[in-house]
A and B are shown apart, each in its own frame.
Chain A
């Protein structure tokens, strides 16, 4: 097993991987840009290496600097997390050449599934249903318009190199195609360093259902069931759950087997996810393979009891898979809410800035994968994800209630976040009924605004603000001591002076 792993990422996912390393007795190494000197992942790692200026292209996406950090620290493997270099086949190949283990699939498998166009071709050949779309990246601009006409509008612009909603644009009519392609290319270039985009038929109101797969280096493959990720804004998931309310056991088994078949067709090893769209008639189509640890992996961990990050590391170290398909079961229900630094009342405008105060929810069945702390300045340079709040309960309704309570207990003060919005999503009767699809947010939450505070509650808050101003002190009579009055080691150190007598 590895002794030291370098984590080529930041934020909550770097923290998640650090935790797995600790439990396995592996020493975690962090890397950080100038904008992340104060990052939580830097504080929690054993070693931390500065890798350059704030823009990701000059730090987290810079392979030379990452490889240099691996060499300097003597790490044997690199965990890429998600985003950044996670699905970059050149990076995986570079590490292979340098004798460094990439914790993810082999570069050839990564290359195949990472090229969304080639992946579609491979799946089609293997007999897996795919969404109608372009079969290659055209060299002439006019070919996009031609393809769009033959697919029939609406179509969707997609980045060939990546997912996560980056570079995606829905195009309803030909006149909007040009600007959508341009914006898609620009976003794809900045997110993945590759500006290739292609077109697919846009299915209306489908569900997004994906299957988690684990494979060892010998090709033994299991799936760990589905995740339903239909609740999306700007083509980016914000609520995920498992099991999916849309699947019954028959369909679940069928899709799970298709997912394994897809991964075998791609010669895939390590953890990966096969994404499908499920239409109203319960037909499913291969969408893409996410060749990495998914943001939403915790819901799978909670219902299957399998630690996916640990399994990734074991597989990368060449250990054979010790899980059999029959041994895997779904138990209870898990939901994840993504906490973003965005203002949902202003079209999800990014909201970087200082977190003035933070209180995190706790309780039975509550898991928080977080990359923030009170007093931290959320930088402008990276993805706005702050944390993931995940709950587990015996059934879906109980999980919803647990999530509502946990969101109510989550205070991130000073910046806008998606917390209030997510509460309304979880409370929505259509969500409660399990009737979700990818049009859910635009359909029911188009002009979302924070509910006005009631006069009574406002009066109480004003009273509290005034009492706060009176300078009411803690510990009036034998109460808990106020922070400032608690003697820390620095105040008392004087009595224990080191060195000789004076």
Chain B
């Protein structure tokens, strides 16, 4: 069986074949054998070359998060947009910039108006979550094309806050 996972937006292929409870793994140019045991829905124990790995697995709709040796590995399904959802620099067509909420929270203050020119690093909106104010700044020099939220509003991550237009 062949599987494909997105790791930081890059597709990685893995082939596994089971033989008497042991798995033959092919990943990149590596081949190895693993003795795998499922402990629960969220836990596998792998023994590879005499080394034991306790692997915890969590899933949500588009992610599989593995925890192994104190470290996390986040895999996405291929076909999904690369996992860069929590950034503000989604460049739109025509040099525009869509500013999205970096985290769930509440809009405390909108500091700019539509049509206003903005400098690079100018604070545009303040979003508060967990009692901390987060200033959302402009990463470009330009003007405010459209504002999509107002003070007091609750926003989810990825929610479009405002659109900027780069200085031509």
Contact of B65 with A408 in the complex, beta carbons under 8 Å: no
A interface, by DSSP: helix, strand, loop or mixed? mixed
CB-CB under 8 A for A476 and B21, given A349-B103, A464-B44, A468-B44: yes
Interface size on B, residues (CB 8 A): 60
B16 partner residues in chain A, CB cutoff 8 A:
463, 466-467, 470
**Cβ-based interface call for A501 (8 A):** no
Report the separation of the CA atoms of residues A482 and B7 in the bound assembly, to the nearest whole angstrom: 30
CB-CB under 8 A for A408 and B64, given A464-B57, A474-B39: no
**Cβ-based interface call for A383 (8 A):** yes
Among A448-502, those with CB < 8 Å from B are: 453, 455, 457-470, 472-474, 476, 479-480, 482-483
Shortest beta-carbon contacts, A-B, top 5: A408-B70, A356-B58, A357-B58, A413-B58, A461-B73
B108 partner residues in chain A, CB cutoff 8 A:
186
A462 partner residues in chain B, CB cutoff 8 A:
5, 7, 12, 14, 27, 73, 75
Q: Which residues of B contact A (CB under 8 A)?
A: 1, 3, 5, 7, 12, 14-16, 18, 21, 23, 25, 27-28, 30, 32, 34, 36-42, 44, 46, 48, 53, 55-60, 64-73, 75, 86, 102-106, 108, 128-134, 154
**Cβ-based interface call for A127 (8 A):** no
Report the separation of the CA atoms of residues A437 and B32 in the bound assembly, to the nearest whole angstrom: 48
Interface size on A, residues (CB 8 A): 58
Say how far A264's CB is from chain B's closest CB, in angstroms.
33
B interface, by DSSP: helix, strand, loop or mixed? strand
Residue of B nearest to A451 (CB): B71
Contact of B60 with A346 in the complex, beta carbons under 8 Å: no
Report the separation of the CA atoms of residues A43 and B38 in the bound assembly, to the nearest whole angstrom: 31
B128 partner residues in chain A, CB cutoff 8 A:
190
CB-CB under 8 A for A352 and B64, given A384-B130, A463-B14: no
A455 partner residues in chain B, CB cutoff 8 A:
28
Report the separation of the CA atoms of residues A479 and B40 in the bound assembly, to the nearest whole angstrom: 11
Contact partner of A461 among B38, B40, B68, CB < 8 A?
Answer: B68
Report the separation of the CA atoms of residues A469 and B14 in the bound assembly, to the nearest whole angstrom: 11
B104 partner residues in chain A, CB cutoff 8 A:
352-353, 380
